Amino acid sequence: MNRSYADVTAYFAFSTPDNWKVTGQGEPKPVTDISVAGNFFQMLGVTPELGRGFSAEEQRSGGVVLVTHAYWKRNLGADPRIVEGRSR
């Protein structure tokens, strides 16, 4: 019956650089993640610079990755075709 909140979200930021590895080109590279609830970005009122947020199915399955702008530039060559799984 609490009417103080319009919505709630969650994130889990307790990660280490070696708990995930990116593979596909050369040696696997360690990365750090922050897992978030499906409504995380919507609740904050932000949208991805490129691409889109999580679909309802991805919210259930956890089947999407968003990367930071810096990571995209440094590790993915700032290639806009990377967005939504389009390869080089």
Tokens linked to 49: 């610079």
pLDDT at 84 over 70: no
- Report how far residue 41's alpha carbon sits from residue 56's, in angstroms, rounded to the nearest whole number: 14
To the nearest whole percent, how much of the chain has pLDDT over 90?
3
Mean pLDDT of 48-66: 80
Average pLDDT rounded to a whole number, residues 36-47: 88
Rounded mean pLDDT, 53-81:
83
Q: Tell me the pTM.
A: 0.69
pLDDT at 87 over 70: no
Residues 34/12, Cβ–Cβ less than 8 Å: yes
